[in-house]
Amino acid sequence: MTQAQNGTDTSTDGGDPVGPGTVPGARDRLRARFLRWWRPAGMWRRGIATAAVAVVLTGLLVFHARVPNRVGNLGSLLETFLPWLGLAVPVLLVVAVLRRSVTALIAVLLPAAVWFNLFGGLLTDKAGSGGDLTVLTHNVNAENPDPDGTAKDVIAAHADLVALEELATDQVARYSRDLAAAYPYHSVQGTVGLWSKYPLSAVRPVDIRLGWTRAMRATATTPHGEVAVYVAHLPSVRVKFDAGFTAGQRDRAADALGEAIAAESVPDVVLLGDLNGTMNDRALASVTSQMRSTQGAAGDGMGFSWPASFPMARIDQIMVKGIEPVSSWTLPKTGSDHLPVAARLELP
């Protein structure tokens, strides 16, 4: 009896045996498709677009200083939010994994490495203990609905020097009254003020080329020596669709502030204020090139201070020259749209 007679058919026509109910050739087509998916050449060719995006991202992180400011101050805008470019890295990583692309996975390592080189140090806690002087700066917001509550929050920080910016004319008396018991010495110049536990002298406004006063300078006589204290509120910047990042007035004010600090005769200097710019912004180089950020030297985390509801940038700064930062931190939200920032300093 033949195989055909007993109902068994082993003919494969060059393929695998096909069982009852299986469409002839379907298994071969599935296997071929799987091999095409996993074959090495496909793994390298896939994800080219994702890899290209990763390379562009790497270029922006490495060469952000080369992005021109001539058109809409795009360079400064990029540098203001530069740390946030890191959010693209996990997105690209997920895409590379889903695409099963070796090329994309390798490319994504580039922006990840550059980002951690630039900002990884900010993720660690560099705060130390000790210190001689605690300072605090806070843009209290001219439209603050609760200035008395904000003053109480400031006092609770137990700082030795307190700088307040954006002081509305009708609120100066309230802040002065609320802070008087904790800070017997103070001076208000225009829309900025300095409150101190130690005597202040040589107080004067600082001309930052605005036509009105938004910066001041004073000498604080502490138990560890004299400290020149600058308080500044640089002009606000705006992002407009028709004009880009409008920061010209702020940039000119930053240059003037940098010149004043460079001419300072007291060797130990503290700058407290809302600079409306980050340490990465090249437009603030006249200031940042000669001073250290306490957040970068002794902070814990990014230290974003604005906007208070969802902080995205560190534009409120404490910077020092001739002084060693020990620790730096942000305080809880007050009635302002900025978070207060504070630092502990060690004087020479």
Do residues 340 and 227 share a domain? yes
Mean pLDDT of the chain: 89
Q: Where are the alpha helices (DSSP H) in 140-293?
A: 147-156, 172-179, 248-262, 285-288
Residue 14: inside a domain: no
Do residues 195 and 243 share a domain? yes
- What pLDDT was estimated at residue 30? 81
Q: What's the predicted TM-score (pTM) here?
A: 0.83
- For residue 347, give the amino acid letter: L
pLDDT at 7 over 50: no
| Rounded CA separation 281/100 (Å) | 38
Per-residue pLDDT of 181-201, as tens digits, reads: 999 999 999 999 999 999 999
Point out which residues pair with 240 in neighbouring strands.
244
| Mean pLDDT computed over 214-224 | 98
End position of a domain, from candidates 105, 122, 139: 122
Do residues 209 and 340 share a domain? yes
pLDDT at 317 over 90: yes
Cβ-in-10-Å burial (0-12, 13-18, 19+) of 43 comes to middle
Peptide bond preceding 307 in cis form (omega within 30 of 0): yes
Do residues 112 and 212 share a domain? no
- What pLDDT was estimated at residue 88? 97
Per-residue pLDDT of 66-119, as tens digits, reads: 998 887 778 888 999 999 999 999 999 999 999 888 899 999 999 999 999 999
Residue-range definition of the domain harbouring residue 65 = 46-122
Do residues 72 and 148 share a domain? no
Do residues 133 and 276 share a domain? yes
- What pLDDT was estimated at residue 35? 61
Strand locations in the chain, DSSP E? 133-139, 161-165, 185-189, 192-196, 200-205, 215-222, 225-233, 238-240, 244-246, 269-274, 292-293, 316-321, 324-330, 341-346
CATH code for the domain in which residue 198 is found: 3.60.10.10
Do residues 167 and 265 share a domain? yes
Query: CA neighbours within 13 Å on the CB side: how many for 260?
Result: 23
- What pLDDT was estimated at residue 19? 47
Residue 17: inside a domain: no
End position of a domain, from candidates 106, 122, 138: 122
Q: H/E element holding 168? A: none
In the chain, pLDDT over 90 holds for what percent of residues?
77
State the total domains in the chain: 2
**Cβ atoms < 10 Å from Cβ of 27:** 15
